Structure formats: structure tokens, C-alpha cells
Structure 1
Amino acid sequence: MTSTLTPPRTATRPGRGGFAQLLHSEWTKFRTVRGWVRSTVGAVLIICLVGLLATAAGNKSDPDGSSALPVGPGGEAVNDSFYFVHQKLQGDGSITVAVSSLAGVVSTNPNDSRSGLAPWAKAGIIVKDGLDQGSSYAAMMVTGSHGVRMQYDYTHDTAGAAGAASQEAPRWLRLQRTGDTLTGYESADGSKWTEVGHADLTGLSRTPEVGLFVTSPSIKDETGTGTGFAPAVATGTFDRIALGGQWTGGSWASDQVGKDAGTSASYSQDTKGQATPEGSGFKVTGAGDIAPVVGGPATSGVRTIENFLVGAFAGLIIMVVVGAGYITVEYRRGMIGLTLAASPRRGRVLVAKGLVIGSLAFVVGVVSAAVMVPFGGQRSESNGFPVLTVPAATELRVIVGTGLLLAAASVFALAVGAILRRSAVAITVVVVGMVLPYLLATASVLPDGASQWLLRVTPAAGFAIQQSIERYDQVVTVYSPSSGYFPLAPWAGLAVLCAYAAASFAAAVVLLRRRDV
């Protein structure tokens, strides 16, 4: 009689349920340590507390708390201040004009004015959906140093021909309205026209205000290297105005759009906005700008949503301490052997820990930002600090990005802790590599070049995900880390931090598998 022996079954690999059980075990381990739970709650409180203190600091730009920055069609804060000679267009039509000169005056102090033209001083024609600041528009213009441009709805800019306007070589401009579409043209002689661009202004009223405008933003100091900005005024001369289509038949009116020049500049004591007839056209003087509001010295006293999240770096440090301790405490107390004995697949243990600490840090960041962004804005405006409005999509990205920032930093700390096995050393490595470069770069301790280099190559690049203000070539300011501008785009900066975290995590998994506990 023969018998067949059945070989013993080999141990099966843990399935989805096995990993879920491991994940639950790591979560239970976390929540039973009161220090970790208290620290996580404390991170939310410290982010909010520091943000609240920041909303009360600084010099008020509006002591009465009565003004707010205009908001453009896209939801961004804008400057919308210029001198306007206008009348109403009835339906479709066009306006054509020759700009024969554009000159300017800069006031370096109340008692001193000199000739000078801001690079983005503008003189041209505009179709605007009413005189309210922030209303939709399209414009063709001659600029101080950037040739002919077509701009619309504050953030859009298209280049035309280069060169300045002069009596001998005027710049001809034309705007043609067809429904909601505005098309801009330029010409060197008034007969041969070249299309510069077009804009779709959906919802444009049937009778928009159309006419001539001049404006000039502030200009940097004489050296061009400092952070000072002086009030600048521009004067444009317009000749041979031609109107096509159906107009209301009214006479030309002239107005200052906006009570002043917004955050971009102001009229000096010796200058003011005005329009005077000259020959077949007008000579128009104006100041201010039609453009998005950006950060920098020109907007001192204006808050951005990043100001309400300055406590994120403090909360991040707390979560780094928790993340590093989440693994190093097991080495210090000799518990790591039991953990790995219960779950021999060591890489899965580290993944489970990463999911737990990363998820908690993400919740900390999102909850803190979701509270501080709207509450900080309301508190700032009530205290007399205008807030730089941003589109809803940007606000959402900053809120979610703050959670991702803390999550990536916590996982980074966990991985470094697994590599070094010592909490104090791991925390020091992460803080020195991430928080210290951020503080040095944004506090103007280092030159701009060094600050930008740090925010490109160190984990501190991840803080770029919180940047809400954009850089626009048509707006002059100091685009530096100290003014809130990172050298990398928001998601690119976060990717740098995630790369550090991923590389450290991979190294930690390899070492955890190879080393004795």
C-alpha cells in the first residue's frame, strides 16, 4: 500500500486584508501615544495662532478699513486707474487713432520732478464695460519701452510692433468690436494694418465706454537696483480720431477712473489727470495702471493669503518631530523587533507608517489653511488691511497644497528617521534642509540670487505650493523670495520636496530590509 504525502503549504503572502490590518495597527499605535496626538492637534492651533498674529502686524494702508482692491473678471485683485476720454458705442463699431507722442514726469520726492517715462506707461484706445473699476476691457496701446501691445481683462498681454511713437512716426491703433469679440490692429502709416490679437469679452454690454486713455505705473529708483518706486505720470498726444459703426452721438467726456492710482503709484503734488483738445485730437495726462496687482514694495500694507499661513512652517516643524519620532521611538524602546516580527515584510511596515503620518499631516495642513484663509482675510480687512484677492482655483490650490506640503515633509522626516534611527539627528537634518533655507531666503538675509538658488535645489522649494501671487511681465515690481515669489512654479516646487521624500523613503526601505533591528 502506498501513500502520497502532501507537502506542507507555504506561507501565503498577505493580501489586501493583511495590509489593511497592518495599517489599522499602525493607526492604533499612533493614537494611543498621547504625545503624538497632542502634538498633531497643537500643530493646527499653532498654525492658526501665528496666522492670527500676522494679520495684526504691519502698517495699515487703509486706516479706516473702508476700501478694498478692485477685482477683475477672473477673480484676481487689479489696479484699474487711468484718465479716460470717452463716449458710448452703440453695438458694433470701431475706433482708430494715431498716437504721436508719449512722454512722462517722475517725482522722486515732493519737491523734485524730472522727465522720465515708466517702461509700462500706456497711451491708447480702450473698450471698457463701464467706468466701474474691475470691469472687463480690451485695449490697444503704445507703451514707454515695450512697443505696441494689446491687453485685455488685466492679465492678458500680446506684443505688437516695437518702437516708440513720435510726431514723425506716429503709431496708428484700431479696435474693432463685433459682438463680444474685440480685435486689435496696428499700423505704421494708417493704411496698411496688421492684426495684433483679439479678445472674447463674453457678456460685454451693448453700449460700452470707448475712447482714449493714458496711465503710468510707478517707476523704480534711478539706479534700477533698489526697491524704491516713485510716482510717475504720462502724457499722450492723440491725432486723427476716426469712429466707425453706430455711436450714441454724445460728446466726448473725460474722467479719472478710480479715485487715485491704486497700488501702482499716485499723482504728485504738481501733476493731475486731465485732457485738453489739441488739433484734431487730445492731449491726455494720466497715472496709475490697468493690470493685476502683484506683491512687492508697491503693495506695502496689502495682505496676501500667504500672510495668513506664515504659521505653516511652525506647524511643519511639529509634524516633522512627530514623523521622525513615529519610527525612532520604536528603535529607542526596542519595540521595532516586535513590529517586524508581527509583520515580516518590512517595506510594508514603513509604507503603512508613511500613510498614517502623511494622512494626518495632510489633514492638519488642510484644516488649518481652510480656517485661516477666509478668516484671516476677514480679520485683515476689518483691521484696515486690504487683501489681494485671487481666483477660487488658486485659493483651493493653496489650501490643498498646504496639506500636501506638511504631508511630504512628515514622510520625509519618517524616512530620515528610519535611516538614522535617532530622533534628534533626523529632526535636525530635515529642519536644516527644509525650514532653515526657507527662513533665510524669505527674510532677506541672503542676496536674491542665493535665495533663489536655495529655493530651487533644497526641500524648501516645496513652500512654493503656497504662493498665490503670480508674476506678470507687464507689471514691474521686485520679484524676489522676500516679496513672496519663488523661482519655481507652485507644483514644480512641491515636486522637488516630494523627490527628496521619495528618495529618502526608498533608501529607508532598502536599509530596513538589510539591517538588523
Structure 2
Amino acid sequence: MTSTMTRPRAEARPGRGGFGRLLHAEWTKFRTVRGWTLSTVGAVLIICLVGLLATAPASESHPNGSSALPVGPDGEAVNDNFYFVHQQLRGDGTLSVSVSSLTGVVSTGPTDSKAGLAPWAKAGIIVKDSLDQGSAYAAMMVTGAHGVRMQYNYRHDRAGRSGAATQESPRWLRLRRSGDTLTGYQSADGSRWTEVGHAHLPGLSATPQVGLFVTSPSVKEGTGTGTGFAPAVATGSFDEVSLGGRWTDGSWQRGQVGRDAGTSGSYTQDNKGGATVSGSGFRVTGAGDIAPVVAGPATSGVRTIENFLVGAFAGLIIMAVVGAGYITVEYRRGMIGVTLAASPRRGRVLVAKALVMGSVAFAVGLVAAAVMVPFGGVRSKANGFPVLTVPTATELRVVVGTGLLLAVASVFALGVGTILRRSAVAITLVVVGMVLPYLLAAASVLPDGASEWLLRVTPAAGFAVQQSVERYDQVVTVYAPSSGYFPLAPWAGFAVLCAYAAASFGAAVVLLRRRDV
């Protein structure tokens, strides 16, 4: 007689299905608590309501009285305002010129001015797709204090051979077009040329506008009440203009690109641009700028998309209250023992709570941002305030980043609540560590140095993920938290918040496993 031996069946272990049931139980617990559900809806509403205040009519207005800004090839708002002496180039060709001088005048009052040159005043040659603002271009130029430069499509800037040290006169510049490629050169004598760089402009017109330009942004000045920006105008002298290639009949046209100085505020009422023939060249006066628009004191009346999300801090406070209470209420009511008895693996319980809390907070931030960014833009423009246009990828990062900001902040609050077991103390710690530094920095309560330090080392660094404005070396403004500029890059600042959340959550898991309930 033979018998068959069977291996004992292994004891079932909780697997993904078990965690799924735990996750469902935590979600059911969350949605059946009326206060938490109402708080979630209230967070969306408060973000939108506070954001509406940023779109309300105000006493200040945009310098142009316009509700739209030119948009460059890369999708960003740009200044494109300068005086232009130009012809059409048919096909390929070159333009060479000697810049013999660059001088300037700075306004000191409504009717007074003094000699002075803006560091980023520009005089040079440009190949521009059309006379429309925001069209593609490449330019070689002499600047007020930064030497010879090649710039193209507003965002791109490259220093010439000697950088800012190149101040000798005359300075020779050349642009050569070959298809969609523009190559810039500089020379000290007009005979030996050094390549500065090249730019590829896809779809460049077969007959672009080519010629001489001068522009000058406003000048940053220290005053007794802080930092101001004074209107400035520049004048460049161009000699020995040399053309090569198939040009028009040789007659030069002249005029202003852009009806004023854009957001740079460089033109005074009585000092407009112009050009006169001077020997074999021209003497050209202009103001404005060819560069991206940035936030700051020089762009009064221009709004950014993060202005419409200023209410995120209020929504974050609400979600921090919910996040901390999601665990502390169980301690207060003695329910934590039941929860852990049903799911003995305590770390999994806290992970499930974090996933539920983080997902809800992410949805709150995402929905509020997805509503307010387009609605705020429409409302601002209807009230006569232009909105700083940004590339689609940047706008998407701001919207999704707002959701991530609230999600990680709520997990941070959940971790702190687990550690302290008291809602009031946990909420106070999160608000003081995250929201208070942000408000102090944004409201200019602290000096710029102190504000930047707080936004580097505290959880408030996470708000950087909402920043849409960029820094550009070739654009002068006040790059400070009060103007919307965080000291860390968007994802770097968000990583600081994530580090705080990970530390608090890790400590919470360890303590939850070791302590009595």
C-alpha cells in the first residue's frame, strides 16, 4: 500500500490584494468623515478665491495700455522694441559695419536728463524674419558694458572674443546668411574676422529685413527709497556699411519696431528714436529692448501665471490641517488601536494613509491650478493687464507642480502629526516651517538676503515649483523673491520640500512601529 505525501500549504501572506484592501479602507475612512471632505472642497475654493484677487482691477496699469505682449519663437513673452534702418535681403548675403561710437542719455526727471549709457544698451546689425514683434532674428551688437555679443531669438546670448573687456572703437561687426543659418563675426580692423557664433532659424523668410539697430533698456539705479529704473536712450554711429548678396534697390527704410519701449519703459515722452545720414553711414538713436520680458519693478502692471495661484498657501494650510488630523484624530479618539489591530504591519498603514492623503491633496492643487491659470489670464487681459506668456511646458509644470506641492506638504503634515500625535502642535510646526517663510519672503518683510536664505533651507523652498519667470543675464531687473524669483530652480526647491517630507515620514514609520498605541 502506498501513500501519497503532500506538502503542507504555505501560510497565506498579505500581498498586493491585501494592501489594496487596506488602501480602500483608508480611502473609505477619509471620504466618510464629513469635515475632511468639506475641507478638501474648501481648499479648492480658497485657492481660486484668493487667486481672483490677483486678477481684480488695480490702480496701476501697463505702460502701453495694452493687454497683450509680443511672443517670441519659443513661446515666451518678449520685448521687441528698437529703431531700425533696414532693407530686404533676397536669399543669402552679408552685412558688415563699423560701430565707431555708442553713447547714451538717462532721464533724471520728467524734463531732465544726464549723460549715461545703460550696460545693456545695444547698437549693431540684425537679420529679422519680419517687422512683426516677436519674429525670429539674429544680431551682432556692441553693448554699453558687456562688449561685443551675438544674440538671437531673444533668449540666446553669446559673448564675443574679448567679452566685456572689448571697449575699443571702432568695432567691426558682420552677419552672414546661408539658408536658415546666420553666422556672426567680429573684427578689430575690418580685415581679420573672428567667428563669434551661429544661429539656426528654421523657416527664416526668403526676404528678411536686414540692417542697423539701436535700443536701450531702462537703467537700474540705487535711490534713497530702494532700487529704481530710469528711462534711457542710446545713440550709435555706424560707418562703412558694406552689403554683399542680392539686396533690394539699395534704398534704406527707417522706423520704429514696436510703437514704444515695451515693458522696459526706456522712452521718455519727448525723446523718441530716429536716424540721420552721417558720411557713408548712419547715426541712429533708439530705446527699448530686444530680450525676454521678466518680472520685476521695470514691468509694472504685467502679471505672471503664479500670481493667479497665490492662494496656494491658503489651500496648503487647509490640507496640512487635514493631513495632520488624518492620523492624530485616531489617537485622540482611541481608534488607532483598532486600525493597527486590523492591519498589524504598521508601516503599510502609514503608507496607505500617505497615498490617500497625497492623492487627495494633489487633486486639490491640480484642479485649482487648472482652473485659475486660464481663467486668471482671461480676466486679467479683460481688465487691461497683460499676462507674461510662457512656453506650454512651463505652464504645465506650474499647474502640475501646484498639485505636487500640496501633495508633498500634506504627507509632510501627516508625518509630523504621527510623530507628535497632536494636531495643533503638528499644524503649527508645518505652517511655521513652510508657509510663514514663504509669506515673509513674498511680502518683502525681510531683506532679500534673508528671504533667499529662508527659501533655500526651509520647506518653503517647495513653492519654487510654481515659478514661471526665468533669470536672464542680459536682462536687468531685481531678481528677488519679492519679484517672483526663488533662489533655487523649480525642481531643486521642490526637492528640498521632498527631503523634509521624506525625513518626517521615515521618522513617523519608525516611531509608529516602536511606540505603544
If the length of structure 1 is used for normalisation, what is the TM-score?
Answer: 0.97
Percent identity of paired positions between Structure 1 and Structure 2: 82
Name which of structure 1's ranges 121-130 and 11-20 shifts more when overlaid on structure 2.
11-20
Q: 1:29 — aligned with what?
A: 29
Name which of structure 1's ranges 184-193 and 401-410 shifts more when overlaid on structure 2.
184-193
Q: Offset of 1:64 from its aligned partner? A: 9.9
Confirm whether residue 50 of structure 1 aligns to residue 11 of structure 2.
no
Aligned mates of 1:39, 1:71 — CA distance in 2 = 40
Change (3 A) 1:46 1:154: same
Aligned mates of 2:515, 2:164 — CA distance in 1 = 69
Q: 2:328 — aligned with what?
A: 328
Instruction: Map residues 225-244 of structure 1 onto 2, 5 A cutoff.
Output: 226-244=226-244
Q: 1:347 — aligned with what?
A: 347
Q: Offset of 1:54 from its aligned partner? A: 1.4
Change (3 A) 1:209 1:373: same
Cα deviation per residue 1:39-58 (whole Å; 9 max; x = unaligned)? 00110111011111211053
SS at structure 1 position matched to 2:262: coil
User: Is the 2:76–2:390 Cα contact (8 Å) retained in structure 1?
Assistant: yes
Q: Offset of 1:60 from its aligned partner? A: 3.9
Q: 1:494 — aligned with what?
A: 494
User: Is the 2:106–2:117 Cα contact (8 Å) retained in structure 1?
Assistant: yes
Change (3 A) 1:256 1:150: same
Q: 2:194 — aligned with what?
A: 194
Q: What residue ranges of structure 2 are gaps of 5+ in the alignment? A: none
Cα deviation per residue 1:144-183 (whole Å; 9 max; x = unaligned)? 00000000000000010335777x7311000000000000
1:75 corresponds to which letter in structure 2? Answer: G
Q: 2:59 — aligned with what?
A: 59
Instruction: Map residues 497-516 of structure 1 onto 2, 5 A cutoff.
Output: 497-516=497-516
Q: Offset of 1:13 from its aligned partner? A: 2.9
Q: Offset of 1:227 from its aligned partner? A: 2.1
2:151 corresponds to which letter in structure 1? Answer: Q
Cα root mean square deviation, aligned: 2.0
Q: 2:122 — aligned with what?
A: 122
Q: Offset of 1:14 from its aligned partner? A: 1.0
Instruction: Map residues 338-487 of structure 1 onto 2, 5 A cutoff.
Output: 338-487=338-487
Aligned mates of 2:328, 2:273 — CA distance in 1 = 68
User: Is the 2:124–2:213 Cα contact (8 Å) retained in structure 1?
Assistant: yes
Q: Offset of 1:220 from its aligned partner? A: 1.2
User: Is the 2:96–2:175 Cα contact (8 Å) retained in structure 1?
Assistant: yes
Aligned mates of 1:245, 1:476 — CA distance in 2 = 37
User: Is the 1:60–1:384 Cα contact (8 Å) retained in structure 2?
Assistant: no
Q: Offset of 1:300 from its aligned partner? A: 1.1
SS at structure 1 position matched to 2:263: coil
Aligned mates of 1:331, 1:312 — CA distance in 2 = 29
Aligned mates of 2:5, 2:221 — CA distance in 1 = 93
Name which of structure 1's ranges 52-61 and 183-192 shifts more when overlaid on structure 2.
52-61
Q: Offset of 1:222 from its aligned partner? A: 4.9
SS at structure 2 position matched to 1:221: strand
SS at structure 2 position matched to 1:351: helix
2:515 corresponds to which letter in structure 1? Answer: R
Aligned mates of 2:485, 2:348 — CA distance in 1 = 39
Cα deviation per residue 1:1-24 (whole Å; 9 max; x = unaligned)? xx9999987754310000000000
User: Is the 2:328–2:417 Cα contact (8 Å) retained in structure 1?
Assistant: yes
Q: 2:299 — aligned with what?
A: 299
SS at structure 1 position matched to 2:163: coil
Change (3 A) 1:59 1:198: farther
Aligned mates of 2:206, 2:343 — CA distance in 1 = 72
Q: Offset of 1:108 from its aligned partner? A: 1.6
Change (3 A) 1:503 1:164: closer
Q: Offset of 1:192 from its aligned partner? A: 1.0
1:216 corresponds to which letter in structure 2? Answer: S
User: Is the 1:101–1:165 Cα contact (8 Å) retained in structure 2?
Assistant: no
Name which of structure 1's ranges 154-163 and 296-305 shifts more when overlaid on structure 2.
154-163
Aligned mates of 2:267, 2:248 — CA distance in 1 = 32
1:214 corresponds to which letter in structure 2? Answer: V
Q: Offset of 1:409 from its aligned partner? A: 0.2
User: Is the 1:437–1:455 Cα contact (8 Å) retained in structure 2?
Assistant: yes
Aligned mates of 1:165, 1:15 — CA distance in 2 = 70
Q: 1:15 — aligned with what?
A: 15
Aligned mates of 2:27, 2:507 — CA distance in 1 = 23
Aligned mates of 2:246, 2:392 — CA distance in 1 = 38
Change (3 A) 1:206 1:5: closer
Aligned mates of 2:64, 2:254 — CA distance in 1 = 30
Q: Offset of 1:279 from its aligned partner? A: 1.0
Q: 2:176 — aligned with what?
A: 176
2:111 corresponds to which letter in structure 1? Answer: N
Q: Offset of 1:268 from its aligned partner? A: 1.9
User: Is the 1:415–1:508 Cα contact (8 Å) retained in structure 2?
Assistant: yes
Change (3 A) 1:283 1:308: same
Change (3 A) 1:163 1:239: farther
Name which of structure 1's ranges 125-134 and 214-223 shifts more when overlaid on structure 2.
214-223
User: Is the 1:381–1:387 Cα contact (8 Å) retained in structure 2?
Assistant: yes
Q: Offset of 1:225 from its aligned partner? A: 9.3
1:48 corresponds to which letter in structure 2? Answer: C
2:287 corresponds to which letter in structure 1? Answer: A
User: Is the 1:61–1:386 Cα contact (8 Å) retained in structure 2?
Assistant: no
Confirm whether residue 276 of structure 1 aligns to residue 292 of structure 2.
no
Aligned mates of 2:66, 2:228 — CA distance in 1 = 27
SS at structure 1 position matched to 2:108: strand
If the length of structure 2 is used for normalisation, what is the TM-score?
Answer: 0.97
1:282 corresponds to which letter in structure 2? Answer: F
Cα deviation per residue 1:115-136 (whole Å; 9 max; x = unaligned)? 0000000000000011111111
SS at structure 2 position matched to 1:384: coil
Instruction: Map residues 102-181 of structure 1 onto 2, 5 A cutoff.
Output: 102-160=102-160, 161-162=162-163, 169-181=169-181
Change (3 A) 1:493 1:222: closer
1:330 corresponds to which letter in structure 2? Answer: E
Q: Offset of 1:266 from its aligned partner? A: 3.0
User: Is the 2:94–2:245 Cα contact (8 Å) retained in structure 1?
Assistant: yes
User: Is the 1:220–1:226 Cα contact (8 Å) retained in structure 2?
Assistant: no
